[in-house]
Amino acid sequence: MFPILKNSFRNNGKVKTNFKFIKKKMLLIRRLKKTTGVSNVIKWVSKCFLNSHRSFLLSIFRLSMVFYYLCNMKRIQSEVQYIQQLVSEGEHCHQDFKFEISDARKIAKSLSAFANTEGGRLLVGVKDNGKIAGIRSEEEIYMIEAAATMYCQPPVTYTTQSHSVEGRTVLEVCIEEVTNKPIYALDEGNKPKAYVRIMDENILATPVHLKVWQHANKKRGAFVAFTEKEQRLLYAMKGKMLTLNQCCKASQLNRQTVCNLLADFIRFDLVLPIFLSHKFYFKLKEE
């Protein structure tokens, strides 16, 4: 088949084949089969093809290498622009920079906060000022896995993607918001603590947060009776912004009762939690 190409000619840039030559070559191949064997025929065909089309094959190879280079450069530029765009946003409620990962427990706090809030991403290998440092070793990847599986209860599901930027590797770790909250992170004493993400910080969840999640996970519908306890708490909060302890003191109700009531008020959109000066306050939403 291949020697056919050797006796082809061009017409207006198109390759046409001399079919008389094809017939002669096919007869020659049949004779060679009888006298020299199939293996010699294959060798002869390959030799003719390579000799006549060496420059053609070389051109195809060069074009493929150029195409691969261009595609690879486009991918690299796209990665660089993507990471630069994320870095330009800075740290916020959905994004956190990590220069390096040296403590899996600290990473577990970030995973807990993102999973309990609205999800987010970690950019590992990026300094707080946005400078690209790159990850130092694959050990950091294993520490993320340890943080998600060993130091989060229940384990957190996440995805990772490596990006090449300025000759360094930036690791993107994406965490989705979970349905059944909370996700706890184990501290140094293996005590589970839940966190929420507020602006660019991981904040320890209050007992009210825990009650809100607990009530939300109940299959049955919620019902709030307007009894004396509800009236006392609402009256105490009127026109004020109070902490949990202040709510207890002003309403003269115990802490557990106030937590349950505030959780229901938040779920029914009556009360708004406000984080101010590293403290949680509660305020009637109508005001």
Domain boundary (51, 83, 115) is at 83
For the purposes of burial, counting CB atoms within 10 Å of the CB of 196, is it exposed (0-12), middle (13-18) or buried (19 or more)? buried
Helix (H) or strand (E) holding 122, with range, is: strand 120-124
Q: C-alpha angle with apex 151: 205 to 136, nearest 5 degrees?
A: 110
Q: Do 94 and 199 lie in a common domain?
A: yes
Q: Do 103 and 179 lie in a common domain?
A: yes
Note down the domain range covering 46: 3-83
Q: Do 167 and 261 lie in a common domain?
A: no
Q: Do 124 and 199 lie in a common domain?
A: yes
CATH number where 110 lies: 3.30.950.30
**By the 8 A CB rule, do 172 and 123 touch?**
yes
The predicted-structure confidence for 136-171, as pLDDT tens digits, reads as follows 878 888 999 999 999 999 999 999 999 988 889 999
Q: Do 183 and 215 lie in a common domain?
A: no
Q: What is the pLDDT of residue 5?
A: 43
98 strand-pairing partners: 124
Model pTM score: 0.71
Q: What is the pLDDT of residue 6?
A: 43
Total domain count for the chain?
Answer: 3
- Residue indicated by tokens 């202040």: 246
Domain boundary (203, 237, 272) is at 203
Mean pLDDT of 69-97: 79
Q: Do 182 and 240 lie in a common domain?
A: no
Q: What is the CA radius of gyration of the chain?
A: 34
Mean pLDDT of 58-85: 65
Q: What is the pLDDT of residue 88?
A: 92
Q: Do 149 and 216 lie in a common domain?
A: no
d(CA 5, CA 21): 10
3-state class percentages of the chain: helix first, strand second, coil last, to nearest 5: 50, 25, 30
Q: Do 171 and 230 lie in a common domain?
A: no
Q: Do 56 and 159 lie in a common domain?
A: no
The predicted-structure confidence for 39-59, as pLDDT tens digits, reads as follows 555 555 556 555 555 565 565
Q: Do 109 and 174 lie in a common domain?
A: yes
CATH number where 262 lies: 1.10.10.10
d(CA 26, CA 7): 13
Domain boundary (42, 59, 83) is at 83
The predicted-structure confidence for 258-276, as pLDDT tens digits, reads as follows 999 999 999 888 999 999 9
Q: Do 99 and 189 lie in a common domain?
A: yes
Q: Do 168 and 96 lie in a common domain?
A: yes
Residue type, position 57, single letter: L
d(CA 209, CA 136): 37
Over the chain, what is the mean pLDDT? 81
CA nearest to 151, candidates 112, 207, 97, 122: 112
The predicted-structure confidence for 100-141, as pLDDT tens digits, reads as follows 898 999 999 999 999 999 999 999 999 999 999 999 878 888
d(CA 193, CA 116): 12
